[in-house]
Amino acid sequence: MSKIIASSAMRASHEMVKRTEDMLDKAISEKGKDFVFEFPDTAYHLPMIYGMTAFKVKTLGDMKTALDTAKHDLHPVPEDHLWKPYLGETLDSGMVTLFAEEIYLALRYINGLEPAVDPETNFTYNGFITDTIQRNLGIQLVDGRMPGFAAIIGAAPDEATAVKIVRELQEKNILVFLSGQSKDKNGKLTSVTKQLLSQNIELGWDTYIVALGPDTEHTLYALDWALRAPMIFGGNKAGDYKTLLKYSKDRIFAFALALGDMDDLKWATGAGAINMGYPAVCDTDVPVIHPTGVCTYEHVDKEFDHSKIVQKAIEVRGLKVTVEKPPIPVAYGPAFEGERIRKEDMFIEFGGQRTPAFEWVRTKELDEIEDGKITIIGTDVEAKYKAGGQMPLAIVVDVAGRKMQDDFEAIIERKFHHNINEAQGLWHMGQRDIVWMRISKQAYNDGITLEHLGIIQATMTKNRFSAIVDKVQVTLYTDEKDVLRLQDEARAKYKERDKRLAGLTDESVDTFYSCLLCQSFAPSHVCVISPERLGLCGAYNWLDCKAAFEIDPTGGNQPIAKGEPLDAVKGRWEGVDNYLKSNSGGAVETLNLYTIMDNPMTSCGCFECIIALIPEANGVMIVNRGYAGMTPAGMKFSTLAGTVGGGMQNPGFMGIGVNFVTSRKFLYADGGIKRIVWMSKNLKERVAEDFKARADEEGISDFLDKIADETIAEDSEKLMEFLASVGHPALTMDPMF
Ligand code: SF4
Ligand code: ZN
């Protein structure tokens, strides 16, 4: 590293440690050494310190120990060095800074100062990034929807430039973290967060712009998050710091844009980030450092032209960004999916019980379709659209392709929601005949017409399904009588499809599919997806995988020939075992699809729910991601998740997709749904309808009422009382083990 930078970083590191130490001493004198602290919703303590050293900071006293030890690393190393056994060496000043910053932020939490609030606008920053959010994002990371992350530190020269940079990142689906401040071109101390807020840009996870906090120290939250990925998804152990850093460098495509003047603390924090393999591009005249020799991690670059800085960073980090966008007059990408359109901002709406509306994919012969044709059928369409308000609407998308199958209609249709929502100023909810769409006044003013709805569906259907769809044409109907007439036809088709889907069983097919997408984060994890068991993230079912394989035969979804059944009850097949042996990196030798007790499926990290054995109840509990309370297993979701993920088989614990709960193959070998003794309330509500149907099938109609939730029991004792009082079947079933 350049000498000037190194001495800046060293200076800041000392200063940061000193500042934190003073705060910490004060906190200890007020609250005592045993005062307990944890960041919200994480199983990884102070993740940076824990990941690097395996040292669990649980109290103020632990913070003192960690800080004292880290401090020594700025000097020659003493023999009794606490984490020398783990590190084998000392921390550099960048890492010491990150440790100090982490403790500093923890202290700010204790003092009620985090998440920070902007005094001028009352805007609340995100603060610490929870494990739950990390898991929510997991799937987008692996399926390529989100190619990387940018941490923007400081402020742009002016508001317009800030908006331009962020919009460019959003359109490339890059998640943006904001922190720190610097002077703008008028010499005013500000930040990109404030610049965006002043332009009424919506910030938050939904829009891919996450403001962590106002200061440079808050950048640590992004790094904390990155360092957890190898532990959450990769099955790597805390303290195995070399592996963790290598994972973050190889698999987490992050970079920093440092805007405005650099100060000592920015250099020191940057030095920490460089340890993790994240390069920085500055818009000031900094010494450029290229990776050389053994030091392949270092990389600082500069670009003064703000219209090129994003591109520069993408090149420096080696990101692969492929964006497919329909020709429309508004911005487009997943970052715009989360926008809401309130009534006041709405120009026109369709459906949502207000007008008849539906959307429908029809398979046609190749010669029946004129590719790319958009037709609008209705009386006075233009005048009615221009008047705004409400309008009936049918969107009928005809597709044809040599590899098209009827089974894929539903899959193409399900993407309609994303296709429309990803356009800025367009909003979509529901599907089929319960669809509801809105176009904002802004989007209307930008030139969005009815025809664009067709253009979006046609372009994106072809982009997303290029291997199965050769031709698309879209017809929009706007007269109520047409919409109602065609809706009857569509409804008959929906019904037919649902019937066929319900008839798809594991026995009725000879091929299952794998999903290997999560291997980019959890290298040994394989989801085995059968008609009656969807992937644990909930995003891929058997039909999705079948279509995905048609679309990309060398992609992440591969057919698995079931082969000879080895155990029909537990759900074990020769072909599946063989496939796993060669595709799980040796982690899985054999798998039983229908039990949690004996060689169950592995979990990556993005499971929608976790099932865990409750031995004393002779049953299982299921908790959904997003439930932050205690469970009768004595662990919160975040803690449970830490024991489940990483691509290992853990009898008694398993990650699953929500819909698996109501599958006939759910724990089939263990006794099925009768084993469920507890479910988080939100999950109960989500599955209620299908669950009741399943319970009827099992001849236990009121069974859902016999399952406890957090309003009934959060610990084992209360749970047992409840189960006894309702006569839960699990109590009298065969022992689970
Ligand atoms: Fe990951 Fe499994 Fe979902 Fe595929 S199905 S994305 S492997 S969790
Ligand atoms: Zn996953």
pLDDT tens-digit map of 394-421: 999 999 998 899 989 988 998 999 999 9
660 lines ligand 1 (CB under 6 A): no
Query: Residue 301 Cα, ligand 1 centroid: separation in angstroms?
Result: 36
Residues 66, 368: Cα–Cα separation, whole Å:
71
What is the tens place of the pLDDT at every residue in 263-272? 999 988 988 8
Give me the long-range contacts of 553-559 (CB less than 8 A, separation at least 24).
556/143, 556/515, 556/516, 556/517, 556/519, 557/513, 557/514, 557/515, 557/516, 557/517, 557/529, 558/513, 558/514, 558/516, 558/583, 559/511, 559/512, 559/513, 559/514
Instruction: Please give the CATH number for the structural domain made up of 131-317.
Output: 3.40.50.2030
552-588: burial string, b at 16+ Cβ within 10 Å, e else: eeeebbbbbebeeeeeeebbbbebbbebbeebbeebb
Is residue 292's pLDDT more than 70?
A: no
538 lines ligand 1 (CB under 6 A): no
535 lines ligand 1 (CB under 6 A): yes
Is residue 73's pLDDT more than 80?
A: no
527 lines ligand 1 (CB under 6 A): yes
The amino acid present at 474, given as its one-letter code, is V
Q: Please give the CATH topology (third level) of the domain spanning 334-492.
A: 3.30.1650
Residues 627, 633: Cα–Cα separation, whole Å:
14
pTM of the entire predicted model: 0.78
Strand boundaries in 275-331, DSSP class E: 280-282, 300-302
Inter-CA distances, 589 with 58, 338, 386, 519, 607, Å: 38, 41, 63, 17, 22
Q: Where in the chain is the domain with CATH 3.30.1650.10?
A: 334-492
What is the tens place of the pLDDT at every residue in 200-211? 999 999 899 999
Q: How confident is the model at residue 82 (pLDDT cuts 50, 70, 90)?
A: low
* Ligand 1 atom nearest residue 516's Cα: 7
145 lines ligand 1 (CB under 6 A): no
Q: What rounded mean pLDDT belongs to the chain?
A: 91
Is residue 293's pLDDT more than 50?
A: no
Q: Which CATH class is domain 3-110?
A: mainly alpha
Mean pLDDT computed over 349-362: 95
Q: Where in the chain is the domain with CATH 3.40.1470.10?
A: 507-732
The predicted structure's pLDDT at residue 298: 59
Inter-CA distances, 505 with 287, 499, 500, 502, Å: 62, 12, 10, 8
Q: Which CATH class is domain 507-732?
A: alpha beta
Residues 333, 168: Cα–Cα separation, whole Å:
10
Residues 190, 199: Cα–Cα separation, whole Å:
14
Is residue 84's pLDDT more than 50?
A: no
Q: Which of 236, 198, 216 is nearest to 44 (CA)?
A: 236
The DSSP secondary structure of 555-586, one letter per residue, reads: SSEEEEE--SEEETTTTEEHHHHHHHHHHTTT
Pocket test for ligand 1, best of 514, 519, 527 (most atoms within 8 A of CB): 527
